[in-house]
């Protein structure tokens, strides 16, 4: 027993550690020289190169020291590393450094190593095994899932109350609308990816169909937003079925590639059908939404219509429209959420999850797989279409630029990061993926660096998404059974293992 | 020509499943070659044969996973309805002809709970009741009543396979034997007229095999369901089956009750090898009668 105990004192193998650290630093050097060390700048004479050797040295130095720190943690010297790393982070924080980059690297790097060391000290071990870690993270996810029963309504109330507080200015409301749009798209895509298990890389196509449906219908026929919203949803659903028919016989990677292609086809049609869609110039002057067709959000409404502020006897404010848009997307997103939560408990939702688990077993049980998948596709596309027409009316201008592959990738990243099938996970992931870069806009270039780092950390710590935990949709013994011991309690304990084992392949 | 005249005992007149001249070719390979047999209601029909004899291919044809190259498969429900299985797409064989199956390598919905597995099995009934989700989304009583009945059916079968206390477990976490039983319960939840089991006793210990035999006889006797069974475990096959079909190299070589099949020279040859095909070295051939005699005395 003592032989394998990590905490037993023994000599530290310095040469081996130094060698390992040097090797890691060398790899870091190879990576940082082109990535960090060289920078292209726009000069009047053309493109020029600028070098940033300070940052390279700082990064390589940090990797070297950090690796030594990790090795020492492994050797059971967690406390020492914790003190040193915390000191480094503090030094970066308080003492002025020659460059800003060095300072950030010092603080962030020091903090990460310090956290790592602190965890090692706390658990008394340098490393948790992957299974233990998974189990622990799953327990956290299960707790969050449990908490979402009351956390969800509180979140909704807060979101409803937010525009009425003095906090709500134009910028925050805009960020709120942006976040809610992505939450809605994430929830929509979650139906296809999370529930039905179909990897859709072209979800933005339906978003585009929705946006262009409204824009074109308003442009050519002068239809109002409230008429176009359901129409856009229908058209998007129709395009989903159209795509689904030939594609759903494919599986896995092949399916993903075809959806990717479909996303691009839609965008390229929009770019090239110049006479109809305005091509790369897009469509501008898309009408803003009215207050359910009753009143307009303008200071001086057109003949025969009413102004919103007159109707309610308020002072005119440009914010009214923004607040209205905020509530509109909030309601749309909640509709998607309500639908998903409800459909999971219905045969349709169960069939989707069963398809994700085992396609062939579904056929043996007499489930019409094509229809189920088409339904998932069409419904998700419809929600994408709703979000698209909302996007069009909010922006007042759309062009194919807004519907590139990167949009699909971001929405997919939100779903996957949040944990496939987890509704609250989508919200958390949206806050991370969209919210953080918005919040740290002043950090300019470094926000993408931080974003990438966050992704890597999540990959390491939670490879199946932040809150990947599945609650059964129907329980024979109720939720109380969990605490009462017996087999039901076994589920909670063994559940993590099962998911870990089951999805690891 | 192998025909139906070999079937010795006839319990009821119209067979549940009639397979005629079924042939399945994969390119140049003939996996099933002109096989004809019948399976009856309330009977366990076992299909046995050495590895690679084409048993699972035959099964996949019957349950619609393959469409056979040649042949006809007729399923007659007790109420007289007839279905030509070779003309139906896979999922309809379960949906309309009420044929359920299990798999050689267990195919449960591992991430879902045991009860959910059984609810998915009742999908077709439930989705109709939920008005393709519209009545379900609104929570109308027409749906909730049917759902309650489905849970009762699921509970009934869970009780039957002794998994009731595990209803809320994740199916993938169950022990192996329990997973096998759950798969049978799931198939039975589709309320089939014929249940096809692909090696249900594979990997089970003798105790679990005995349990399985008990479940299968219960299904046969109390539910009047026809059972079609692929099995290697001869103790299971010989004790519970009413009728055995033996395949070898894709051909039917024997067909009859277990006793008949056990003593059929063609079956013994298929399992133990050809006598005349192999030339034994003379010294061993000379010893053979003596060895046989000694073995007989020993037994």
| Separation CA A501–CA A114 (nearest Å) | 31
Residue A211 has pLDDT above 90, yes or no: yes
Q: Is the backbone of residue A368 left (phi > 0), alpha (psi -120 to 50) or beta? A: beta
Residues 183-202 of B with CB under 8 A from A: 186-187, 190
Domain boundaries, chain A: 14-127, 168-468
Whether B104 is covered by a domain: the verdict is: no
Query: If we measure between CA atoms, which residue out of A174, A111, A101 comes closest to residue A445?
Result: A101
Q: How far does B177 lie from chain A, in Å, by closest CA? A: 17
Torsion of CA A275, A278, A281, A285, to 10 degrees: 140
Q: Which of B91, B122, B131, B180 to mutate to test the interface with A (most CBs of A within 10 A)?
A: B91
Chain B nearest CA to A460, separation (Å): 23
Are residues B199 and B284 both part of a single domain?
yes
Q: Is residue B210 located within the same domain as residue B81? A: yes
Same domain, B70 and B206: yes
Q: Is B66 in the same domain as B47?
A: yes
Spatial distance between the Cα atoms of A161 and B270, rounded to a whole number of angstroms = 79
Chosen for mutation from B67, B94, B110, B111 (greatest number of chain A CBs closer than 10 Å) is: B111
Please give the radius of gyration of chain B, using alpha carbons only, rounded to the nearest integer. Answer: 22
A440-444, B90-94, B178-182: the lowest-pLDDT one:
A440-444
Q: Are B196 and B289 in a shared domain?
A: yes
Nearest residue on chain B to A342, alpha-carbon basis: B137
CA distances A88 to A29, A54, A70, A272, A333, Å, are 21, 18, 15, 55, 44
Same domain, yes or no, for B222 and B292?
Answer: yes
A362:B120 CB<8 A: yes
| B18 and B150 share one domain | no
| Binary contact (B91, A368; C-beta < 8 A) | yes
Residue A361 falls in which region: left (phi positive, over 0), alpha (psi -120 to 50) or beta: alpha
Q: Is B166 on the interface with A (CB under 8 A)?
A: yes
| Residue A367 structure tokens | 């489930």
Q: What is the CATH number of the domain that holds B18?
A: 3.40.50.300
- The answer to whether B136 faces chain A, any CB pair under 8 Å, is yes
B214 and B167 in a common domain: no
Q: What is the CATH number of domain A168-468?
A: 1.10.3470
Cα dihedral A88, A90, A95, A96 in deg (nearest 10): 80
Residue B94 lies in a domain: yes
The H-assigned helical ranges of A95-195 are 100-123, 130-161, 170-190
CA dihedral (B160, B164, B166, B171) positive or negative: positive
- Chain A residues with beta carbon closer than 8 angstroms to that of B130: 346-348
Return d(Cα A386, Cα A382) in angstroms, integer.
Answer: 6
Cα A95–chain centre separation: 36
Residues B89 and B218 in one domain: yes
Q: In this structure, are residues B72 and B271 in contact, taking their beta carbons and an 8 Å threshold?
A: no
Q: Confidence class of residue A283 from pLDDT cuts 50, 70 and 90?
A: confident
ipTM of the complex model? 0.81
- Write down the pLDDT at residue A351: 92
CA distance B296 to B299: 5
Grade residue A5 by pLDDT with cuts at 50, 70 and 90: very low
**Coil/strand/helix, residue A55:** helix
Task: Give A153-207 pLDDT, tens digit per residue.
Answer: 888 888 888 888 777 788 888 889 999 999 999 999 999 998 888 888 889 999 9
How many angstroms separate the CA of residue A171 from the nearest CA in chain B?
37
Nearest to B110 among A475, A497, A502 (CB): A502
| CA-based nearest residue in chain B for residue A499 | B111
B191, B214, B239 - which closes a domain: B191
Q: Is residue B103 part of a domain?
A: no
Residues 23..82 of B with a Cβ closer than 8 Å to A: which?
Answer: 63-65
Average the pLDDT over A30-53 and give the result: 82
User: Which of A343, A470, A476 faces B115 most closely, judged by CB atoms?
Assistant: A476
Say whether residue B135 is in contact with chain A using an 8 A CB cutoff. Answer: no
Mean pLDDT lowest among A12-21, A436-445, A475-484: A475-484
Tell me how far apart the alpha carbons of residues A143 and A137 are, in angstroms, rounded to a whole number: 10
Last residue of a domain, one of B135, B169, B191: B191
Cα–Cα distance between A458 and A469 in angstroms, integer? Answer: 15
Q: Which of A361, A474, A503 sits opposite B116 (nearest CB)?
A: A474
Nearest chain A residue (CA) to B197: A364
pLDDT tier at A208, thresholds 50, 70, 90: very high
Chain B neighbors of A360, CB-CB under 8 A: 65, 103, 107
Residues of A in contact with B124 (CB under 8 A): 366-367
- The answer to whether the Cβ–Cβ distance between A494 and B173 falls below 8 Å is yes
Q: What SS3 state is found at A152? A: helix
Kindly state whether residues B64 and B137 are assigned to the same domain.
no
Nearest to B112 among A354, A476, A477 (CB): A354
CA distance B255 to chain A (A): 27
Question: How far is Cα A438 from Cα A432, in angstroms, rounded to an integer?
Answer: 10
* Nearest-by-CA chain A residue for B94: A366
Q: Are residues B183 and B75 in the same domain?
A: no
Which of B168, B170, B187 has its CB closest to that of A498?
A: B170
Give the closest of A348, A475, A498 to B133, CB-based: A348
- Bridge partners of B239, per DSSP, are none
Rounded Cα gap, residues A472 and A364, in angstroms? 22
pLDDT, mean of residues B115-144 = 81
Question: Pick from B157, B175, B191: which residue ends a domain?
Answer: B191
How many CB pairs below 8 A link A and B? 157
Q: How many domains does chain B have?
A: 2
> Each residue of A414-456: pLDDT tens digit?
888 888 878 888 888 888 888 877 776 666 666 667 667 777 7
Name which of A363, A474, A499 is nearest B91 (Cβ-Cβ). A363
How far apart CA A186 and CA A203 sit, in angstroms, is 10
Contact B6, B28 (CB under 8 A): no
Query: B204 and B187 in one domain?
Result: no
Rg of chain A over CA atoms, in angstroms?
A: 27
Does the pLDDT at position A215 exceed 50?
Answer: yes
| Closest residue in B to A338 (Cα–Cα) | B137
Which chain A residues are closer than 8 Å to B176 by Cβ? none
Residue A127 has pLDDT above 90, yes or no: no
- Give the bridge partners for A470, in sequence order: none
A 10 A CB-CB count for A482 gives 19
Question: Which residues fall within 8 angstroms of residue B161, CB to CB, at 6 or more apart?
Answer: B181, B182, B184, B185, B215
Question: Across residues A392-398, what is the average pLDDT?
Answer: 89
Q: How does the average pLDDT of chain A come out, rounded? A: 79
- DSSP assignment of A13-33 equals -HHHHHHHHHHHHHHHHHHHI
* pLDDT tens sequence across A338-361: 999 888 888 899 999 999 888 888
Which residues form the domain of B186? Answer: 110-191
Of A367, A475, A477, the CB nearest to B91: A367
């Amino acid at each position: 027993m003592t032989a394998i105990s990590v905490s037993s004192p023994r000599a530290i193998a310095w040469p081996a550690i130094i060698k390992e650290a040097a090797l890691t630093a060398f790899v870091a050097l190879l990576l940082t020289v082109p990535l960090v060390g060289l920078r292209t700048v726009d000069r009047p004479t053309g493109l020029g190169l600028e070098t940033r050797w300070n940052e390279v040295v700082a990064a390589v130095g940090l990797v070297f020291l950090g690796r030594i720190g990790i090795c020492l943690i492994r050797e059971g010297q967690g406390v020492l590393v914790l003190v040193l790393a915390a000191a480094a982070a503090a030094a970066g924080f308080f003492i002025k450094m020659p460059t800003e980059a060095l300072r950030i690297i010092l603080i962030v790097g020091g903090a990460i190593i310090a956290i790592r060391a602190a965890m090692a000290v706390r658990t008394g071990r340098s490393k948790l095994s992957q299974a233990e870690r998974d189990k622990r993270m799953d327990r956290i996810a299960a707790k969050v899932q449990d908490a979402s029963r009351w956390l969800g309504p509180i979140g909704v109330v807060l979101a409803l109350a937010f525009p009425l507080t003095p906090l709500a200015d134009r910028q925050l409301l805009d960020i709120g609308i942006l976040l809610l749009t992505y939450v809605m798209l994430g929830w929509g895509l979650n139906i296809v990816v999370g529930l039905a298990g179909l990897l859709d890389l072209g979800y933005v196509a339906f978003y585009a169909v929705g946006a262009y449906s409204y824009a074109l219908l308003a442009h050519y026929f002068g239809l109002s937003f409230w008429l176009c919203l359901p129409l856009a949803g229908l058209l998007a659903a129709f395009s989903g079925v159209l795509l689904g028919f030939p594609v759903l016989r494919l599986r896995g990677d092949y399916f993903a590639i075809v959806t990717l292609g479909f996303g691009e086809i839609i965008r390229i049609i929009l770019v090239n059908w110049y006479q109809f869609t305005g091509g790369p110039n897009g469509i501008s002057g898309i009408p803003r939404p009215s207050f359910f067709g009753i009143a307009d959000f303008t200071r001086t409404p057109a003949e025969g219509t009413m102004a919103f502020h007159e109707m309610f006897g308020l002072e005119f404010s440009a914010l009214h429209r923004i607040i209205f848009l905020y509530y509109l997307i909030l309601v749309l997103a909640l509709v998607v959420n309500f639908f998903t939560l409800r459909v999971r408990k219905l045969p349709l939702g169960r069939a989707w999850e069963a398809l994700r688990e085992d396609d062939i077993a579904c056929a043996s049980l007499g489930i019409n797989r094509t229809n189920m998948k088409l339904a998932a596709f069409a419904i998700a596309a419809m929600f994408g279409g709703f979000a698209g027409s909302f996007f069009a009316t909010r922006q007042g201008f759309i062009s194919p630029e807004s519907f590139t592959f990167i949009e699909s990738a971001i929405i997919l990243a939100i779903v996957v990061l949040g944990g496939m099938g987890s509704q609250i996970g989508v919200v958390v992931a949206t806050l991370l993926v969209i919210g953080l870069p918005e919040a740290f806009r002043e950090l300019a270039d470094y926000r993408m660096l931080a974003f990438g780092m966050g992704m890597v950390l999540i990959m390491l710590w939670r490879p199946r998404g932040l809150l990947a935990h599945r609650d059964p949709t129907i329980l024979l013994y109720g939720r109380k059974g969990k605490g009462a011991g017996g087999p039901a309690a076994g589920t909670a304990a063994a559940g993590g293992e099962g998911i870990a084992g089951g999805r690891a392949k | 020509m192998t025909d139906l005249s070999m079937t010795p005992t006839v319990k009821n007149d119209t067979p549940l499943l009639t397979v005629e001249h079924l042939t399945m070719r994969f390119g140049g390979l003939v996996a099933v070659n002109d096989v004809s047999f019948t399976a009856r209601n309330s009977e366990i029909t076992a299909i046995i044969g050495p590895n690679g004899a084409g048993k699972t291919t035959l099964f996949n044809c019957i349950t619609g996973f393959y469409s056979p190259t040649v042949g006809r498969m007729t399923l007659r429900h007790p109420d007289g309805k007839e279905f030509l299985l070779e003309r139906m797409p896979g999922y309809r064989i379960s949906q309309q002809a009420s044929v359920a199956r299990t798999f050689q390598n267990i195919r449960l919905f591992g991430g879902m709970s045991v009860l959910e597995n059984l609810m998915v099995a009742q999908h077709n009934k439930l989705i109709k009741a939920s008005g393709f989700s519209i009545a379900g989304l609104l929570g109308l009583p027409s749906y909730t009543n049917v759902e309650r009945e489905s849970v009762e059916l699921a509970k009934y079968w869970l009780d039957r396979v002794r998994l009731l206390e595990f209803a809320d477990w994740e199916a993938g976490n169950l022990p192996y034997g329990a997973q096998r039983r759950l798969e049978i319960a799931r198939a039975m939840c589709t309320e089939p007229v014929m249940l096809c089991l692909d090696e249900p006793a594979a990997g089970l210990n003798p105790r679990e095999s005995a349990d399985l035999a008990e479940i299968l006889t219960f299904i046969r006797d109390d539910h009047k369901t026809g059972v079609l069974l692929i099995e290697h475990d001869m103790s299971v096959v010989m004790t519970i089956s009413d009728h055995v079909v033996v395949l070898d190299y894709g051909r039917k070589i024997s067909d009859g009750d277990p006793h008949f099949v056990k003593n059929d020279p063609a079956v013994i040859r298929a399992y133990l090898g050809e006598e005349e095909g192999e030339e034994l070295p003379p010294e061993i051939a000379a010893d053979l009668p003596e060895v046989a005699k000694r073995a007989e005395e020993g037994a």
